Chains A and B, each alone.
Chain A
Amino acid sequence: MQMLWNAFLLAMSAIRRNGVRSALTALGVVIGVASVILMVDLGQSATRNVTEQISKMGPNLLFVRAGFGRRGAAGTRSAARSLERADAEAISRELRGVTVAPAASTSATVVYGNLNYSTSIVGSTEDYLEVRSRSISRGRSFTEQERSEAAPVCIVGTTVIEELYGTAEPLGTQLRIGRLSCLVIGVLSDKGETMGEDQDAMILTPLATVQRRLLGSDDITDIFVSAASADDTARVKEELESLLRQRRGLGPLDDDDFFVRDMQELASALEGTTSTLTSLLAAIAAVSLVVGGIGIMNIMLVSVTERTREIGVRIAIGALPREVLLQFLVEATVLSVLGGAVGIVLGLVGSYLAASELEMPLVIAWEVVIVAFAVSAAIGMAFGFIPARKAAHLDPIDALRHE
Chain B
Amino acid sequence: MSTDDHAPLIELRGAQKVYGRGEARVAALAGVDLVIERGELVMVMGSSGSGKSTCMNILGCLDTPTAGEYRFAGVDVGALDRNQRTLLRRHYLGFVFQSFNLLARTTALDNVALPLVYRGVRARERRRRAQQALQDVGLADRADHTPAQLSGGQQQRVAIARALVSEPAVLFADEPTGNLDTERSREIIELLVSLNRERSITVVMVTHEPELAVYGSRVLVFRDGRIVADGPPAEVL
Which A residues lie at the B interface, using CB under 8 A? Answer: 2, 6, 9-10, 13, 17-18, 309-310, 312-321, 323, 396-397, 400
Contacts and interface: CB of A to CB of B under 8 A. Distances in A.
Q: Which 3 A-B pairs have the closest CB atoms?
A: A318-B90, A17-B105, A317-B115
Contacts of A396: 62
B86 interface: yes
B73 to A, nearest CB: 16
Contacts of B163: 317
Nearest to B54: A397
A309 B101 contact: yes
Contacts of B87: 318, 320
B101 A321 contact: no
Nearest to B163: A317
Interface stretch (B116-124, B202-210, B212-220, B225-233): B116-124
Interface of B: 57, 60, 62-63, 82-83, 86-87, 89-91, 93-95, 97, 101, 103-106, 110, 114-115, 117-120, 162-163, 166
B120 A17 contact: no
A317 B90 contact: yes
A317 B114 contact: yes
Contacts of B93: 318
Given A317-B115, A318-B115, A17 B106 contact: yes
A312 B117 contact: no
B101 to A, nearest CB: 5
Given A2-B120, A400-B101, A13 B90 contact: no
A312 B115 CA distance: 13
Contacts of B86: 315, 318-321
A397 B115 contact: no
Contacts of B162: 317
A128 B97 CA distance: 93
Nearest to A17: B105
Contacts of B97: 313, 400
Contacts of A10: 117
27 contacts: A6-B117, A6-B120, A9-B117, A10-B117, A17-B104, A17-B105, A17-B106, A18-B105, A309-B101, A313-B97, A314-B114, A316-B89, A316-B95, A317-B114, A317-B162, A317-B163, A318-B86, A318-B87, A318-B89, A318-B90, A318-B91, A318-B115, A318-B166, A320-B83, A397-B62, A397-B63, A400-B97
Given A6-B118, A317-B95, A318-B86, 11 more contacts: A18-B105, A313-B97, A313-B114, A314-B114, A317-B115, A317-B166, A318-B87, A318-B93, A318-B118, A319-B86, A400-B101
Nearest to B102: A313
A313 B117 contact: no
A310 B103 contact: yes
B118 A317 contact: yes
Nearest to A403: B99
A312 B62 CA distance: 10
Pick from B60, B93, B114 the residue with the most CB of A within 10 Å: B114
A314 to B, nearest CB: 7
B184 to A, nearest CB: 21
B115 A321 contact: no
A320 to B, nearest CB: 5
Contacts of A6: 117-118, 120
B62 A316 contact: yes
Given A396-B62, A397-B63, A400-B101, A317 B106 contact: no
A319 B85 CA distance: 11
Which among B94, B110, B115, B162 has the greatest number of chain A C-beta atoms within 10 A? Answer: B115
A342 B144 CA distance: 31
A321 B118 CA distance: 12
Contacts of A18: 105
A128 to B, nearest CB: 76
A316 B60 contact: yes
A68 B57 CA distance: 92
Nearest to B82: A321
A374 B94 CA distance: 42
Contacts of A313: 95, 97, 101, 103, 114
A13 B104 CA distance: 11
B22 to A, nearest CB: 24
Contacts of A309: 101
